[in-house]
Structure 1
Amino acid sequence: MNKVVIAFLPMVLFAGIVLPGDSCQDKPAGSLHTEQLDGPYVLYQGDKVFVKYILDAHGTKTVKSDSMALAQKGDISLTVLTDEPGKPFTVKLKSQLQNEETEFPDVKKQFIVSDIEGNFRAFRKLLQANKIIDENLNWTFGDGHLALTGDFVDRGEQQTEVLWLIYSLEEKAKAAGGYVHYVLGNHEIMNMNGDLRYLHQKYKDHAVLLNEKFVALYGENSELGRWLRTKNVLEKVGDILFCHGGISQAVNRMNFPTSKINRLVRPYYADSTYKYDTPETDTLYSDLGPFWYRGYYTGTVKASISQVDSTLSAYKVNHIAT
């Protein structure tokens, strides 16, 4: 029997870096900074990798930057703070990043989470309470699939840590025969394209300290930015269709498979011009698209039962989770 657990806010419809680098010779480069406030931010420039932290030096915020050759990327291990003092976790940088597949059949058990919005504590406790991870943030869900349906950034004060936790759990899940699906919501895309209306002020201030525009921290020359660009806005996992907002009748009429929808939207994640090369792409980025659509829950035009049934039929699923 397939098992699905839905947690937190999703709705379901049924019908220290460790571097062999060239800085800070008096201690291991990037060893845990007890005064660390934010980071790490991994940025690429030419044949160099830079790892930057915001530190608290006796009440004054400062920047620490480590660097190493790009060829040594595989040696980088990051230290990331949590909501619990003295209990950081480590993250190994992935050797390569690839765009996610869009359909995953034969999934026996799933756990679904949405809208964490930078709240690391809530995310951690939720996963631990449901035996997805242990007290050391290691994967304990076996061959289960963890599905994250967007809006894990903005509003909260620990979105950097939330993203690195998801990043690290992906590899741990795969090693156990499981999987982590991270479907982007409108807030991830807003962070990439520079719409920072809901970003916590802390991150705006820290970008200034880092001498970077915030979008560069999630840009094509950053590890988190490159990683986010591999994610989809629509996935079919077992008999469940995942997206952040929903599937409008306009998207139903396109009759596009999940792979084509993701292929159309991916090049524009960081685009702030709102000029798209096809009418379909324009629709997908409008309030009728899968990460902005709210017709299942709010709005003047509510989704009808027949509309939902059409989506279920088109994608050959029994459920839609947002």
Structure 2
Amino acid sequence: MAASACLGAPPPAHEQDQQGVGQRLSEPTPAPEPEEPRQPTEPRESLLRAIDPGEIPARQTRYPEPERLVAIGDLHGDLGATERALRLAGAMDESGKWIGGSLVIVQTGDQLDRGDGEQAILELLARLQHEAKAAGGAIHILNGNHEFMNAMGDLRYVTPGGLVDFADAPGVDVADRALDPLRGKVPKGAMSRVAAFLPGRPWAKELGKRNTVVVVGDTAFVHGGVLPAYAGDITTLNREARAFLNGERSEPPKAIVDPDGPVWSRHYSDEPDASDCALLDQALAKLEVKRMVVGHTVHTEGIQSACDEKVWMVDVGMAAHYGGPTQVLVIAGAEVSVLAG
């Protein structure tokens, strides 16, 4: 796709603050600094390395109920919090190896932004995915609004460390001439970030292996929330979102930029009332599941439930940016419980 093709449909600005050093690519900004040349004099070392092992592509939208299922909420660039949550879940030992056996993990999106450890988090989750699969388990990594924001050039929540984190990442080439149309629009020092996450670029393609909504057994998992309007065909929703990230369509699907779309909605996570619970009942009926697990809205008081425990909110703000606790949600048959670190 053209380098600027994704810039015509910026995502809704629903975040609570304007923290971050970046800007949207559509805003006029000074030309980039000389350290980001257009033509390298020799091959960049990063181009010689593949993203290894890379995430396992999602092959389906629905998966059978495992014996033990754990949901982990927003991670926001905090590698230490990610590791603590995985150990609390029984997925990983102190050396970073998978010990979960047939355990299934769902991470509900927002690995990116607000912290400096993003690349390390993505690499850790991808490696553990492969180890889990070999042991009979699985890790389903979902995209949240912040993954799509990065793909659409909204860098407001990228930290200074996050801007440079992908400068030496596998496959990232800031000198690619296909990026030339963006060079007057990219914030200072951010070209490597753009070269990593622009749709069709190597790290966007990693995000493009994922689902936006996944159903495991009787539970639907999503970052924001699936309203009835989007509950009828989540397979198509997932396919269209992947196509955008992979550079196969010029604009993001409506579901990804709609304020009430699956990665943005707060209907079920921000003090849901009776009307929100009624929407949830309709969505669950369409999805043919018993409950929904969502992230997106921070609850530093810990994991919460609402609507007669038909929705569980797992974003506890565990990243350092928020200072929340380490907690995960465990589903084992009909039993749903919270583990606290």
TM bucket normalised to smaller: 0.5 to 0.7
Q: Please give the alpha-carbon distance, in whole angstroms, between the structure 2 residues aligned to 1:130 and 1:309.
A: 29
1:247 counterpart = 2:226: yes
Whether the 8 Å contact between 1:232 and 1:262 is mirrored in structure 2 is yes
Q: Please give the alpha-carbon distance, in whole angstroms, between the structure 1 residues aligned to 2:239 and 2:126.
A: 22
Percent of aligned positions with the same letter in both sequences? 26
Whether the 8 Å contact between 2:200 and 2:246 is mirrored in structure 1 is no
Where does 1:11-90 land on structure 2 (aligned, <5 Å)?
51-52=45-46, 67=48
Q: Please give the alpha-carbon distance, in whole angstroms, between the structure 1 residues aligned to 2:130 and 2:219.
A: 23
| CA RMSD between the two structures | 3.1
Whether the 8 Å contact between 2:113 and 2:157 is mirrored in structure 1 is yes
1:265 paired residue among 241, 248, 265: 241
1:157 counterpart = 2:138: no
1:314 paired residue among 241, 264, 286: 286
Q: Report the counterpart of residue 192 of structure 1 in structure 2.
A: 151
**Ranges in structure 2 where 5+ consecutive residues have no aligned partner:** 1-42, 175-190, 295-341
2:53 paired residue among 93, 104, 116: 93
Q: Please give the alpha-carbon distance, in whole angstroms, between the structure 2 residues aligned to 1:97 and 1:218.
A: 18
Q: Please give the alpha-carbon distance, in whole angstroms, between the structure 1 residues aligned to 2:239 and 2:265.
A: 19
**1:113, distance to aligned residue in structure 2 (A):** 0.5
Q: Which segment drifts farther, 185-194 or 99-108?
A: 99-108
Q: Report the counterpart of residue 127 of structure 1 in structure 2.
A: 86
Higher relative contact order (CA 8 A, sep 6+): 2
Whether the 8 Å contact between 1:150 and 1:183 is mirrored in structure 2 is yes
Deviations 1:253-295 (A, max 9, x none): xx22x21111232223378x9956xxxx424421111011111
Q: As a proportion of its length, which structure holds more strand?
A: 1
SS at match of 1:224: helix
Whether the 8 Å contact between 1:193 and 1:269 is mirrored in structure 2 is no
**TM-score normalised according to structure 1 size:** 0.64
Whether the 8 Å contact between 2:200 and 2:245 is mirrored in structure 1 is no
Where does 1:99-110 land on structure 2 (aligned, <5 Å)?
99-110=58-69
**1:51, distance to aligned residue in structure 2 (A):** 4.8
**1:67, distance to aligned residue in structure 2 (A):** 2.6
**TM-score normalised according to structure 2 size:** 0.60
Q: Report the counterpart of residue 216 of structure 2 in structure 1.
A: 237
**Ranges in structure 1 where 5+ consecutive residues have no aligned partner:** 1-48, 53-65, 79-91
Deviations 1:130-166 (A, max 9, x none): 3210111111111110100001110011111111101
- How many residues are paired up? 232
SS at match of 1:304: helix
Q: Please give the alpha-carbon distance, in whole angstroms, between the structure 2 residues aligned to 1:176 and 1:182.
A: 18
Q: Please give the alpha-carbon distance, in whole angstroms, between the structure 2 residues aligned to 1:112 and 1:236.
A: 12
Q: Please give the alpha-carbon distance, in whole angstroms, between the structure 2 residues aligned to 1:105 and 1:181.
A: 13
**CA shift in 2, pair 1:93/1:249, >3 Å:** closer
